Structure 1
Amino acid sequence: MEVTTLARRATWTGGAVQERLRRLNLITTVPPLAIVGVLLVVLTARTWWHVVLQVIGLIAALATAERWTAGDFIRVARPCVAITAAVWLAGALNDDSSSFYGLCVVGSFTIPPLPRHRIAALLGLAVLVAALGASNPLFFHDYGVGRLLQYVVIPAVSVVVSTAFTFVSQRLYDLVAELEQSRDREAELAVIRERMRFASDLHDIQGHTLHVVKLKVALAEKLLVGDVDRARQELREVHTLVGDTIVQTKELAYAQRRLNLSAELENAKNLFEAAGIHVRVDREAEVDARAGELLGQVLRETTTNILRHAQAEQVRITLTESGISIVNDGAQEGGLPELNGLSTLRQRLADDGGELKVEQQDGRFLTAAAFPRREDVR
């Protein structure tokens, strides 16, 4: 349930954030462009033909801007470039210097998202704007500085400047999008970690129980010949153990499982004695509540490992206020065995500020887990 909730939350959050970013871009981009376009129509259009040309260019510019905020502008940008280029040429031939506005806006949105050759594309667009604007002095046979500035220099420079501003906005948008993708990946990692934790806990429950059941059934089989009552008692304990495991599995599935360290100590003691292992428990202090559950998991995992992998005759368990240590003899010769359950627990303890130590020397195996004491933390 927790894993599913995390996955749904990550998906929903990612989509919601993307939609908020789009709305923000829409609000901060389209209205200012529309206001500037309308002001140009009101202030510079001298004929109805000028009004028609500027309105067509403005519509194409706003359509491109709206699609740009949605991340789907390529199919709109290309025809809009052609339309606004035609509008600028018609405006230049009709002595309307404001008709370049649409091409300036469309070009500034089209170039920054290009994967490569953006500088070359920008220079090409500036040259195109200048060339189309140059048709005005050629058509009117007036090569004065005023017309060249009005129809060639100013439009070309405006395209470069507006594209630069759009490029900065695009980079900011990309950075925010990357940040959101990073957050989505973190959410996915959280889901994976939760699955691993669930699998580890399930392994602790089922693996531990199955091994104990195997041990008790073998013991009961031996006792059937000479001690039937003791065999019945072992089988009843197996039945109780299986029932407890079913309950613990349900609690794990609904995130309600909590280990009781005292119960785990008693359980470990009974298991070792049933296996013919002498066990000594030194309880020097009550364990801090925040550490009890993880220490119980360490004790359970270590008990299972001893029963599975060691030929132990003696086990000593020492409990302090903030830690536990389990020492057993009968460890196999050679290097440290690979104990995946303890490796997982080491990481979980480290995440909670604790430390797990595993050592093997002279046939003795030590597993020790500890948390900082309260006065040490202060």
Structure 2
Amino acid sequence: MDTFGHPPAGRRQLLTKALWIGIWLVFLAGPVEDLLDADRGAAVTAFGWLGLAAFVVCYLTLVFRYTSRVLDWRVVHVSFGVLLTLAVVLSFAFGTAWLGLFVYVAVSAGAVLPLGYAMWVIPAVTGVMIAIGLRTDSVEDLLGSLAVLTLLVGFAMTGVRQLVRTTIQLRQARATVAQLAANEERLRLARDLHDLLGHSLSLITLKSELAGRMLPAHPDKAAQQVADIEQVSRQALVDVREAVSGYRRRTLAGELAGARTALTAAGVEADVPLEAPVVLPGEQGETALAWALREAVTNVVRHSGARRCTVAFTARHTLDGPVVELTVEDDGRGGSGAAQGNGLAGLTERVEAVGGVLDVGPGVRRGFRLTARVPLEPAARADEDAEAGEGTGGSASGSSALGSSA
């Protein structure tokens, strides 16, 4: 889940994490029952309760704060030392029922200590538990109950610790990559704007100065310079509009990445291709498919209540020529598609504007299905035919899958 490896961000996450950790406090049932049932003096019982409370505080402090990252090793070492000491003293003073405390000591060792230290600390903790337990139990009883469990849980916690820290490192790496990509995009934008406007603005400045000097004595020549300034500025405006239009154009690669992120964040299992298909329609056709994908995924996230969503691309040969088909299907509440909202109506117009067709309706089994077909441009058709000819020895090719299908 999204909060895995993160410190609690609010009261709800704190309570959830506390409940999850609290489930594993089941091994404290033995000490608690012993304190409630055993006939001891008030002072001894109070000592037992205080020792048990201190033990739980040390354990929760280690597991809560230092599993993902250790900021202060001195606190870790002191807390772990106190935890081990309390386990030894309490189990030695109160008996076998308290040996379950060593399970938590092993868990703490696996959760916070470096892997090299944990590999020998966990067996050592198990050995101390066996040594104390031999006063009342046999080795066979101890090995068959708590000893093996202590070893397994301790070593399993080392794996959980590595998983948590690896998840955090991956999140940091993703954030770094995103930041680098944003920086690179800003540099590219700055570079393109400099290339587009640098020469034009310099020329406008130069001609403006020249027109200013010519204006008193040669107004006709100054007028020519002003006309040149107007022409250069208009061309610069056209270049800037083309550049901005290119930046704003939606691509299938970007929308596929956004679809995976949106579906995963909404708790929907996403069966989405990692890459856009190799054979794509022209720029306008790709933009139409990108908008179709975005609208379909938005509807799945907001309205469907689906658990799974499948996105697939397919190349088909129809009577009107080859097309690229995008299919988005979910297993949610579904619908007939007869009453289209503003989003689907606008999307239909966008797809039809590039000669495509948009179909919406119930899925094969349940849910909702959106299919957008966009024709290939002549250049893309020639590339597809050439690839098909090489793959089949010149024979006519049928429909070929371009992306992953359900």
TM-score scaled by length of structure 2? 0.46
Structure label with greater radius of gyration: 1
Which structure has more helix as a fraction of its residues? 1
